[in-house]
Homo-oligomer: A and B are copies of this chain.
Amino acid sequence: MQCDILEMGRRAKAVKAELARMGVQKKNELLTSIADALTVNEDKILAANQTDLENAEHNGVPKPMLDRLKLTPQRIRGIADSVREVARLEDPVGRVEEGFIRPNGLRIEKVRVPMGVIGMIYEARPNVTVDAAVLCLKAGSAVILRGGKEAFHSSSALVQVMRKAIAACGAPEDLVQLVGDTSRESATQMMRLNGYIDVLIPRGGAGLIRSVVENATVPVIETGTGNCHIYVDASADLEMAAAITDNAKTSRPSVCNAAESLLVHKDVAEAFLPMVKERLDQSHVTLHGCPETVRILGAEVVPATQEDYAKEYLDYQMSIKVVSDLDEAIAHIARYSTGHSECIVTRNLESAQRFTDEVDSAAVYVNASTRFTDGGEFGLGAEIGISTQKLHARGPLGLRELTATKFRVYGNGQIR
């Protein structure tokens, strides 16, 4: 399918001002209209999804991916509910973040404004099509979506439904556009649409992120890859450490805040490793261990390579290393972490302070599962992804992080 990304950029740019001027009441009206339309058009959406599922099965797409792709009446209702939830969130646009009067009488305000046009490149998950669109709309920005090809029919149906719902409110349907071409080229074109796309948010695996870093000329917020660590300190409550490790690894292994690597202080390795193995065995987690881990746990443990320590398994696998102290743990994390979420389990105050100070990640935990790195869990509302970069926003990207600021300056003739 041919598709003119530049033309899509022009259309988004042409309507962004109308959205930026829209009050929160009208924006919420759009969202409610979308939520209703999703339920009304359930059959149409499910039929499109069925096509995607059949193609995917035919192409041998793996089971966990099929599950993420699949829509059901219940899932569509869930998506519609989450749209209504976004409608209930506070509108960040127009919020005065700071305001003051200068000695010369200038009144200065720093105010939140929409980004303008947000580009979103993501994997084959139909729910992201809706989640991303409504978050961008509520934040006052037009959105250009490019989803994974396996979900193309589902995403097309969902976008059609959303565009009609927007038009029914008298607003321009081009506020939400879907790239009709799921080739690599269309993604690369989006990455270079300077002057049209104000910010691009890639959400996907390491390959997509690499491609964006290499090719993008528009501003980007990197999201996603999480090689998250749990470090069990010498003073840890070992029961707690085992529970946290198990939860962080097995409660949902396919997500970015799942733990991938376990570091254990040598003084507690003999006691702790069998405890945690017993837990992880219940979920059939494959362990990749250092020689000391293998010595303690035996031949069931696969010897770990450097690649293991660098890997985001997103699966029932975990790398383990016994370290001689906190310094070695921090150094290991500095070397292998993707800067997402890391946790120390400890009773020692100095260890907790040093770990949270010195580990350079978006979220650093003391005695809690890394699985909490999430906009909803942090109480920040729905999120569009987790930023692992330092510029602009780090951690969950909520509505506020989807906006920019500007300065308004009011004078009465001041010159310098």
Spell out A's residues near B (CB within 8 Å). Answer: 17, 20-21, 100, 102, 106, 108, 110, 113, 115-116, 194, 198-199, 213-214, 217, 219, 221, 237, 240, 243-244, 246-248, 251, 352, 356-358, 360-369, 371-373, 377-379, 389-392, 394-395, 404-416
Let me know if A394 and B405 touch, CB within 8 A. Answer: yes
Let me know if B21 and A414 touch, CB within 8 A. Answer: no
User: Interface centre among A102, A214, A410, A416, by most B CB within 10 Å?
Assistant: A416
Which residue of the partner chain, among B237, B372, B392, B415, contacts A244 with CB atoms under 8 Å? B415
Q: Which residues of B contact A214 (CB under 8 A)?
A: 217
Cα(A221)–Cα(B217), bound, Å: 12
Let me know if A366 and B244 touch, CB within 8 A. Answer: no
Let me know if B367 and A412 touch, CB within 8 A. Answer: yes
Cα(A367)–Cα(B367), bound, Å: 55
Determine how many copies of this chain the complex contains. Answer: 2
* Known interface pairs A20-B358, A360-B406, A367-B414; 12 further A-B residue pairs with C-beta atoms within 8 A, sorted by A's residue number: A116-B390, A213-B217, A244-B415, A363-B408, A363-B409, A367-B410, A368-B409, A368-B415, A369-B414, A371-B415, A371-B416, A373-B407
Let me know if B409 and A243 touch, CB within 8 A. Answer: no
Main secondary structure of the interface of A (DSSP, over half): mixed
Let me know if B358 and A21 touch, CB within 8 A. Answer: yes
Let me know if A364 and B406 touch, CB within 8 A. Answer: yes
* A368 closest partner in B (C-beta): B411
User: Interface centre among A116, A198, A199, A378, by most B CB within 10 Å?
Assistant: A378
Let me know if B358 and A17 touch, CB within 8 A. Answer: yes
Cα(A410)–Cα(B237), bound, Å: 15
Q: Which residues of B contact A404 (CB under 8 A)?
A: 390-391, 394
Let me know if A391 and B219 touch, CB within 8 A. Answer: yes
Min CB–CB distance A192 → chain B (angstroms): 9
Cα(A213)–Cα(B391), bound, Å: 16
Let me know if A377 and B102 touch, CB within 8 A. Answer: yes
Q: Which residues of B contact A102 (CB under 8 A)?
A: 377-379
Which residue of the partner chain, among B199, B247, B364, contacts A408 with CB atoms under 8 Å? B364
Min CB–CB distance A98 → chain B (angstroms): 9
